[in-house]
Amino acid sequence: MQTLRNRNVNQGEREQNAVDFADLCKRGVLAAGDVLESCYAGVTATATVTEDHRIRLANGEIFDSPSGAFRRARMLETGEDKQVNGWTVWKVADGRTLNELR
């Protein structure tokens, strides 16, 4: 897997990709109780932002990363354990992806 420092990317892209989920919460972009939804690859999932800047799936499991949360949601619904970029599949109420919020 190629890291950002090995890729030819501009400074803005490097900074955008350095933002983690907790950073969005700390900056006030997301707040505790906000709902995240995803409909991807036949998987419909809902999650909630927690007070401690994490993601709680409907079954109560908690994750630090959007990708980890969606991977688990997909596994619960389909039995498939496949990595997906959670930044592009989770959306907020207005339809924007987490990636767009970065």
Band (41; pLDDT cuts 50, 70, 90): confident
Is the pLDDT at 12 greater than 90? The verdict is no
| DSSP H helices in the chain | 11-17, 21-26, 66-78, 86-89, 98-101
In what order do the strands lie in the sheet containing 62-63?
A: 35-40, 43-49, 55-57, 62-63
Domain boundaries, the chain: 4-101
Instruction: Dump pLDDT digits (tens) for 45-98.
Output: 999 999 999 999 999 999 999 999 999 999 999 999 999 999 999 999 999 999
pTM, full prediction:
0.81
Residue 45, H or E segment: strand 43-49
Query: Are the C-beta atoms of 74 and 84 separated by less than 8 Å?
Result: yes
